[in-house]
């Protein structure tokens, strides 16, 4: 049996797009689109070492000395483990039975072993002063899955996110000191997820509300002294009580799950500037614009054992087996101040401070196309993220003519304010990057970069309030829940650059 929710399901598509579980930079950014930059913990944005500068600072294209193409791949090995999880079936504290705990797994690993992300960049020099570029890269993406019997299954059970960006770029040198770059970013996002709904408990709560109303009606009839009304109200109360007894037997026993999909294209822009102060020092500014998305999706609820009584309540509310919905969201802009200093013929030092306007994601309003009772269904999610800073320091050492060694460290602030706002799909915390790598050049045309990063993430806790289940239309049936999270990741990167000389 398939059944469609109309109030909350697409909210979770939005959570995927806005807060996909650990893209390994704060919030939902993937964290590395250049192995050259990764080896310095993304501190080397002002370096302009190869065509990957399209992502780190497009003005750097003007510093390249030839046409070139760069291909990179990152293998992300994440670990997100939850423990001591607990949750109650929504609203059961208001029932005669008292609060009922959700049964199931209370700990486990929710990430796959390895996620692979490829990136490709190309640069073509029209002249000494003007260079064209094209980048195809992964801005963010992830895949997580809880056990199907996890006590957190009513929050979200599984998600997958795929995003790809295409960025044509042009850069030019005003003179030997000043360089500018601009790019247009076309970004496609697709999301899939699975979420459970506690229909048995929702049915019992609705029946309990009917009993309370029947009692109130009986009291009103008794106050009026109308014998006929008293008899009718008494019969209604008896019927409501019988319905409640039947529904109460399904608390925690009847549930369904939804498979959801959503996708969209969005367009933004990218600006870069580099200033060579002298032959040793360079500073840069990198700005990535916000990108507006109108995410559209569908949801299909499924249940193998949904009682007819519960189905009847949903049918009466007018829900359909398939419904489209949409939401407008804005991925945030970011601004970076970058620096590079040539300390000696062998040593370069790098620095980067990046500000991201994560507060764009304070809330998101969802709109559903099917009308019920003359009104259009909407719902709002409120993660209430804050703006963040990222600080990175790195360096390179030219060990020999072909071999360069590189390393870096970075602090990346989480946009999550506290445990009550932390989503179980994004148990995000402040993180520290430790990176090292190397670059090997041969025959002047070929260059190989390798990098390794370990990302330490502070242990976090999620403390989620219950959903508002005031009527049967609200099928977001998560009860109050909490869990502890331990997160870290290892990233391995490999990159090849070919120069057309």
Q: Number of helices (H) and strands (E), helices first, in the chain?
A: 6, 22
pLDDT band, very low/low/confident/very high, at 302 (cuts 50, 70, 90): low
Q: Looking at per-residue confidence, does 140 or 90 come out higher?
A: 90
pLDDT band, very low/low/confident/very high, at 16 (cuts 50, 70, 90): very low
pLDDT value at 457 more than 50: yes
The mean pLDDT of 204-220, rounded to a whole number, is 88
Say how many CA atoms lie within 13 Å of 415 toward its Cβ.
Answer: 26
- Identify whether 207 is part of a domain: no
Q: What pLDDT, on a 0 to 100 scale, did the predictor assign at position 393?
A: 98
The mean pLDDT of 122-129, rounded to a whole number, is 96
> pLDDT of 27-43, one tens digit each?
555 678 999 999 999 99
pLDDT band, very low/low/confident/very high, at 15 (cuts 50, 70, 90): very low
- Identify whether 167 is part of a domain: yes
Q: How far apart are CA 300 and CA 308, in angstroms?
A: 18
Q: Are 59 and 274 in contact (CB under 8 A)?
A: yes
- Identify whether 377 is part of a domain: yes
- Identify whether 423 is part of a domain: yes
Task: Provide the domain limits for residue 410.
Answer: 2-198+252-500
| Number of domains comprising the chain | 1
Query: Which SS3 state, helix, strand or coil, does residue 198 take?
Result: coil
- Identify whether 225 is part of a domain: no
Q: What pLDDT, on a 0 to 100 scale, did the predictor assign at position 300?
A: 66
- Identify whether 241 is part of a domain: no
- Integer angstrom CA distances of residue 169 from 183, 338, 466: 4, 19, 47
CATH classification at residue 346: 2.40.160.60
468 class by beta-carbon count within 10 Å (0-12 exposed, 13-18 middle, 19+ buried)? exposed
Buried b (16+ CB within 10 A) or exposed e, 350-381: bbbebbbbbebbeebebebeeeeeeeebebeb
Q: How far apart are CA 323 and CA 257, in angstroms?
A: 15
491 class by beta-carbon count within 10 Å (0-12 exposed, 13-18 middle, 19+ buried)? buried
pLDDT value at 1 more than 50: no
> pLDDT of 83-99, one tens digit each?
999 988 887 887 777 88
- Identify whether 12 is part of a domain: yes
Question: Mean pLDDT for the chain?
Answer: 84
pLDDT band, very low/low/confident/very high, at 374 (cuts 50, 70, 90): very low
């Amino acid at each position: 049996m398939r059944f469609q929710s109309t109030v909350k399901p697409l909210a979770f598509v939005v959570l995927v797009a806005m807060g996909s579980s650990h893209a390994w930079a704060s919030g939902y950014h993937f964290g590395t689109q250049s192995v050259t930059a990764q080896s310095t913990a993304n501190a080397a944005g002002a370096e302009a070492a190869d065509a990957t500068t399209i992502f780190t600072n497009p003005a750097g294209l003007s510093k390249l000395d030839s046409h070139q193409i760069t291909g990179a791949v990152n293998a992300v090995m994440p670990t997100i483990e939850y423990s001591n999880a607990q949750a109650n079936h929504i609203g059961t504290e208001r029932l005669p039975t008292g609060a009922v705990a959700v049964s199931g797994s209370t700990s486990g690993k929710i990430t796959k072993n390895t996620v692979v992300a490829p990136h490709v960049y190309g640069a073509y020099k029209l002249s000494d002063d003007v260079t064209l570029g094209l980048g195809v890269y992964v801005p963010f993406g992830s895949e997580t899955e809880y056990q199907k019997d996890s006590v957190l299954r009513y929050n979200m059970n599984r998600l997958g996110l795929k995003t790809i960006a295409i960025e044509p770029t042009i850069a030019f040198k005003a003179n030997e000191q000043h360089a500018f770059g601009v790019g247009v970013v076309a970004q496609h996002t697709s999301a899939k997820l699975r979420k459970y709904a506690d229909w048995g408990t929702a049915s019992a709560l609705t029946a309990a509300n009917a009993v309370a109303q029947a009692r109130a009606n009986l009291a009103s009839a008794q106050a009026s002294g109308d014998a006929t009304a008293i008899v009718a109200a008494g019969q209604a109360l008896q019927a409501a009580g019988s319905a409640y007894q039947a529904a109460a037997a399904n608390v925690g026993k009847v549930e369904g799950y939804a498979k959801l999909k959503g996708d969209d294209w969005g367009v933004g822009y990218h600006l870069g500037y580099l200033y060579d102060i002298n032959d040793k020092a360079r500073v840069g500014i990198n700005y990535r614009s916000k990108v507006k998305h109108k995410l559209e999706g569908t949801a299909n609820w499924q249940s193998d054992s949904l009682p007819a009584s519960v189905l009847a309540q949903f049918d009466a509310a007018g829900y359909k087996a398939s419904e489209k919905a949409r939401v407008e969201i804005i991925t945030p802009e970011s601004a970076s101040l970058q620096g590079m200093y040539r300390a000696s013929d062998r040593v370069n030092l790098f620095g980067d401070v990046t500000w991201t306007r994560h507060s764009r994601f304070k809330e998101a309003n969802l709109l559903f196309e099917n009308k019920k009772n003359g009104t259009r269904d909407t719902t709002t999610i409120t993660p209430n993220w804050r703006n963040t800073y990222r600080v990175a320091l790195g360096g390179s050492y030219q060990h020999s003519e072909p071999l360069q060694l590189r390393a870096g460290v970075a602090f990346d602030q989480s946009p999550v304010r506290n445990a009550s706002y932390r989503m179980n799909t994004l148990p995000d915390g402040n993180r520290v990057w430790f990176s090292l790598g190397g670059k090997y050049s041969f025959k002047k045309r070929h260059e190989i970069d390798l990098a390794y990063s370990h990302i330490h993430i502070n242990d976090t806790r999620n403390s989620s309030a219950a959903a508002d289940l005031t009527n049967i239309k609200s099928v977001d049936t998560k009860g109050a829940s909490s869990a502890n999270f331990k997160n870290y990741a290892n990233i391995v990167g490999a990159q090849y650059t070919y120069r057309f000389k």
